[in-house]
Amino acid sequence: MKNHLEKLRIDHNWTQQELADRAHVSRQTIISLERGRYNPSIMLAFRLARIFEREIEEIFIYDEEEDYE
Amino acid sequence: MNNSAKWIRKQYRTGWAFLITGGLVAIAGALLPVWISATTFNTRIVTGVGIFLIGVGLSYLIRYRAARREPLTGARMANEANDERSRMLRARAGNRAYWVSTALAYGGLMWVSFAANGSLPHLSEDALWYFLAAVVIIPFGVYAIGLTREEERE
């Protein structure tokens, strides 16, 4: 799943570790999320949305075709 | 109490539980030959298990100490331990190791069954020991390799 996490994080001037600390996950998870290699649970998606004060859909882009692949 | 504090407390409790259990098992292993003069097995095996448990307990307490000394490190260690992605990877690797372990145990069971009716040779005590050791070690190896590969892929 594509997302705007990296852009949002850079806009906030946070390192991956800082974002990981705020989201209570490991830095490796943030790296995987930013690369689009890992899809977060709904709880983590909400947590990230709260951190950036955005809606989930503004951060994560659902691709129906990718879902059915 | 937040998740990080809960995790740190858990390290402390688990560490002491392992340490006390390990100490009791090690002492029991050392005293078994005194209590029972005709033990038919090497009681050092029991002492060894006790020492192993003491080691596990100490590792928990060292983690607890590091987490208490530096709160940020403690929070990161807790995040690492409770991280959903790491949990998923561990579960996947564990699932693979479980199936390998089941396959090995089933293979052993089949061998013993066929050996009983003469279709396969009987396993000697030494062969059985090595087989059981493999049943323990191979799934552990599968778990470790699986975890590394999943880490690289995800």
ipTM: 0.86
CB contact under 8 A, A26 and B83: yes
Q: What is the pLDDT of residues A15-44, one digit of tens each?
A: 999 999 999 999 999 999 999 999 999 999
Distance between CA atoms of residues A47 and A41, nearest Å: 10
More confident residue, B101 or B73: B101
pLDDT tens track for B17-69: 999 999 999 999 888 888 877 777 788 889 999 999 999 999 999 999 999 99
Considering the entire predicted model, what is its pTM? 0.76
A65, exposed or middle or buried, with CB in 10 Å at 0-12, 13-18, 19+? exposed
Under an 8 Å CB criterion, which residues of A touch B? 20-21, 24-26, 28-29, 32, 37-38, 40-41, 43-44
